Amino acid sequence: MSRADTEATTPCTTMSCTTEAERAALHHALDLAAAPGVPAGPNPRVGCVLLAPDGRILGEGRHRGAGTAHAEVDALRSATGPVRGATALVTLEPCDHHGRTGPCTQALRDAGIARVVVARRDPNPVAAGGLDTLREAGIDVAVSEDPQLTARAEELLRGWEHGLVHHRPLVTAKLALTLDGRAAAADGTSRWITGPAARAEVHDLRECCDAVLVGTGTARLDAPQLTARHEDGTLRARQPLRVVMGEGEAPALPTLPGAGEALRLRTRDPEAALEDLFDRGIRHVLVEGGPTLAAAFLTAGLVDELIVHLAPSLLGAGPAGIGDLGITTITDRLDLELRDLRPLPTPDGPTDLRLLLQPRTR
């Protein structure tokens, strides 16, 4: 028997030991959790795969929104055969409390699951403790320490976890600028400051966020659709809530088949807007424009990360990419911490720079 066969079939007994087959199943469970079709809501996105002792997939499931079956129960219901003695691979620690549904720990115990492996423990004190309960019931448990699995689980759940701690959505602000900080030319034209690679990432961001937010000025000047689209212009499967914020006049967002719902928030207060969105189940907001809106969120200290697409171009005049921050002296500047820097090359366009930054606390 090869080393790979031994790893895939020999059970682990430590809290962190997982096999290749289990890691592959956890990746599949993360794919299930990230699949489109789950409405924005306060619950985490979770996937589950059931493996037989011989490595066959017996069932798979995912959580589809508040009030629906949790991923573990969904997987148990989908099972094509007996699951007693099987391993459950779950992206998040099974819940151990009674909410709208019963605890997943009880469902796994009742089904005779022999082993549970998770990509991430539950940080929610209300629902946490599931692995301890399962271990006490005699079920073997493990937490994956695979860095790739950990990173995928963190990315999938970061908006939800941010909401647990801060009681507001995670806010990502996005800017497209020339080297001299312009968002448009002197005549107001702005298409296109950045190249196709940067523009494609904007649609990736829209697809992964629960809501995309612009101000009334951007809505008037650019008439944006605020949809997540493929390169050919067709809509992607997952669409954000499309939000226009502000007290000024603005045209209604276009009604498009397959697009996300449109919402008008008649407030200039970023904190009030986030409170409203949080109450609607929104956990990750993309602030996309324009300069006044970006400045309002930055001034309020409500930007958690800033993504800047920087074009290797100069305009010399034209609207600035960020509005007035109320800063009058150098010592009051808003410092940013650079978290990532990489080029965005494209065959037929400029090589832009992508900067990921986090504002430091003033």
Phi, psi of 83 (to 5 degrees): -110, 0
CA distances from 219 to 13, 211, 290, 295 (A): 57, 15, 9, 17
- Whether 229 has a binding-site annotation, put simply, is yes
Active site residue 72: yes
CA 349 to chain centre: 28
Q: How far apart are CA 190 and CA 353, in angstroms?
A: 17
Closest CA relative to residue 18, chosen from 87, 91, 117, 85: 117
Look at the block and give the residue holding tokens 């400051």.
Answer: 193
Q: Strand ranges (DSSP E) for the chain?
A: 47-51, 57-62, 87-90, 115-118, 140-143, 170-178, 211-215, 241-245, 262-265, 284-289, 305-311, 336-346, 349-359
Catalytic residue among 22, 60, 72, 161, which? 72
Residue 101 is assigned to a ligand binding site: no
Tokens linked to 240: 């954000």
Of 119, 157, 121, nearest to 38 by C-alpha is 157
Q: Phi and psi for 103 in degrees, rounded to 5?
A: -65, 135
Question: Per the annotation, does 192 bind a ligand?
Answer: yes
Alpha helices in 97-146 (DSSP H): 104-111, 130-136
Cβ contact 323:332 at 8 Å: no
**Structure tokens that stand for 263 in this block:** 């919402």
Q: Is 291 annotated as a binding residue?
A: yes
Around Cβ 264, how many Cβ atoms within 10 Å? 15
Residue 206 assigned as binding residue? yes
Query: Is residue 138 part of an annotated ligand binding site?
Result: no
Helix (H, G, I), strand (E, B) or coil at 48: strand
Tell which residue, 56, 311, 52, 283, has the closest CA to residue 181. 311
Contact in structure between 216 and 245 (CB atoms under 8 Å): yes
Q: Which residue reads 């606390």 in tokens?
A: 361
> Has 226 been labeled as part of a binding site?
yes
295 is in an annotated binding site: yes
* Phi, psi torsion values for 243, nearest 5 degrees: -125, 130
Residues of the binding site for substrate: 190, 206, 226, 229, 288
Residues of the binding site for Zn(2+): 70, 95, 104
Residues of the binding site: 70, 95, 104, 176, 190, 192, 206, 218, 222, 226, 229, 288, 290-296
Residues annotated as catalytic (active site), given as ranges: 72
Residues of the binding site for NADP(+): 176, 192, 218, 222, 290-296
